[in-house]
Amino acid sequence: MAWINIETTDLDPANSFPLEIAVIVTDENLEPIGELTRVIYQPAENLARISDFAREMHTENGLLNEVSGGKSTSEVEHDLLAFLDSYHWSKSGGIPRIKVAGTNPSFDVAWIQKFFPKLYPKLDHHLFDVIPLREAFQLITRYKADRSFGRRAIDEVRLSIAEWQTMRNLLGSPQNVREAAWLRAREQNTYQDGQTRNYYDATVDRYDRKTKALDLTGIQNEFLALLPDPKTRPVRILSAGCGPANRDEVRFLKAGFQVDAYDASGQMIAKAKENMEPLGGKAWQSSFIEFRKHASDRQGYDGIWAMSSLLHAHLEDLPQILEAHVAALNVGGVMLMSFLHGEGESFSENASPHSRNRIWTKFTAKSLQDFLKAHLPNVDIVFSRERVTGAQGFEIIWTEAVIRRVK
């Protein structure tokens, strides 16, 4: 099969233009046997018609910077034909036809029909679409796809192949389909996995600028007041889901605390190391799930700072994640956490680029207090409250809690 993805200036090929195409050919075992990627040249007048959504996405992923050096559509079509004609395709009506696969491949075929007219007649009209298979799996299991925002065409193709490989492997053991899908969903639906992690990898610079400007002095002071004085003995803080570690962790280090931090985003951790290591802090890459698996190696903290991070953890994972972090505290140690105000969890797949592709877990002060009491018998709740931030008309309500390990 030929797995194809085309990145474009907008959604309608009648008045938009292709920017990049990627193709991976796989054998009957879904093993890649060849790939081709081409950036497609577009003049300035065509790029001026790009949608705001596409402009932001392809600026962040670097594609727009490469378009001026791309090939013409006729040159790209020549390369595609030479590449695809080098493989043996199954016959349909006595004629070899290229079997097209992908995530919504009908979208890509429509663009091929408009911009690559010599290639279009060679395509099989039967398409292999991952989306109906994904929807079927989601109906009978807890499987959730690992999709992301801001990837390039070749990354989207690889994601589609990997998704079908996962589903096919699950089908190979039908008696285990629920358990296997559930375990995979647990990995993908924490902050440090899947869609949310990829979002933060792609937006690290903007997020770094945004968070550095926020003033959290008040809640920082509340947290630090619950810890021992670092002048009397070494006091250790763990920042869970630290992001770029450009604000809170830096203040804690400068105040004399020993600070460790982790985050699943590789780009965020690179920033965190830049900010923390000159001050003596340590940062490493880990997901919440991975921390839970290796919690026995991470012990002896007096405080854990989980500001605006656990809100990206899957709700059903939270009890185990919280247990692991409480176990990492010394008796008497405290943990601060914050969530968006509300109830339950959601996935912002169709939201704006600034909030899409992230999991959001929400609590009220009452529901968070009830949740903590139900799942953490060895802690006291110092407080559970709601706090409003932001300018009038742009307020955000946060639900915050501090717990203390008592045994």
Q: In sequence order, what E strands does 179-316 have? A: 236-240, 258-263, 282-285, 301-306
What per-residue confidence (pLDDT) applies to 203? 83
Using alpha carbons only, give the angle 102, 187, 354 rounded to the nearest 5 degrees: 65
- pLDDT tens digits, 355-387: 556 778 999 999 999 999 999 999 999 999 999
- pLDDT tens digits, 274-283: 999 999 999 9
- Fold (CATH) for 194-405: Rossmann fold (3.40.50)
Residue span(s) of the chain under CATH 3.30.420.10 come to 2-188
Is the pLDDT higher at 18 or at 317? 18
Is the pLDDT higher at 184 or at 38? 38
Comparing 13-17, 157-161, 202-206, 221-225, the range with the smallest average pLDDT is: 202-206
- pLDDT tens digits, 224-236: 999 999 999 999 9
> Residue 374: CA atoms inside 13 Å, Cβ hemisphere, count?
8
Superfamily name and number for 2-188: Ribonuclease H-like superfamily/Ribonuclease H (3.30.420.10)
Residue 244: how many other CB atoms lie within 10 Å: 29
In this predicted structure, the answer to whether residue 216 has a pLDDT above a threshold of 50 is yes
Residue span(s) of the chain under CATH 3.40.50.150 come to 194-405
- pLDDT tens digits, 3-29: 999 999 999 999 999 999 999 999 988
Please, what is the average pLDDT of the chain?
87
What per-residue confidence (pLDDT) applies to 206? 84
Is the pLDDT higher at 139 or at 254? 254
Q: From the DSSP assignment, how many helices (H) and strands (E) are in the chain?
A: 16, 16
CA distances from 402 to 60, 227, 337 (A): 36, 12, 6
What per-residue confidence (pLDDT) applies to 351? 42
In this predicted structure, the answer to whether residue 187 has a pLDDT above a threshold of 60 is no
The C-alpha atoms of residue 253 and residue 113 are separated, in whole angstroms, by: 59
User: What does the pLDDT average to over 206-217?
Assistant: 86
pTM listed for this prediction: 0.56
The C-alpha atoms of residue 65 and residue 10 are separated, in whole angstroms, by: 17
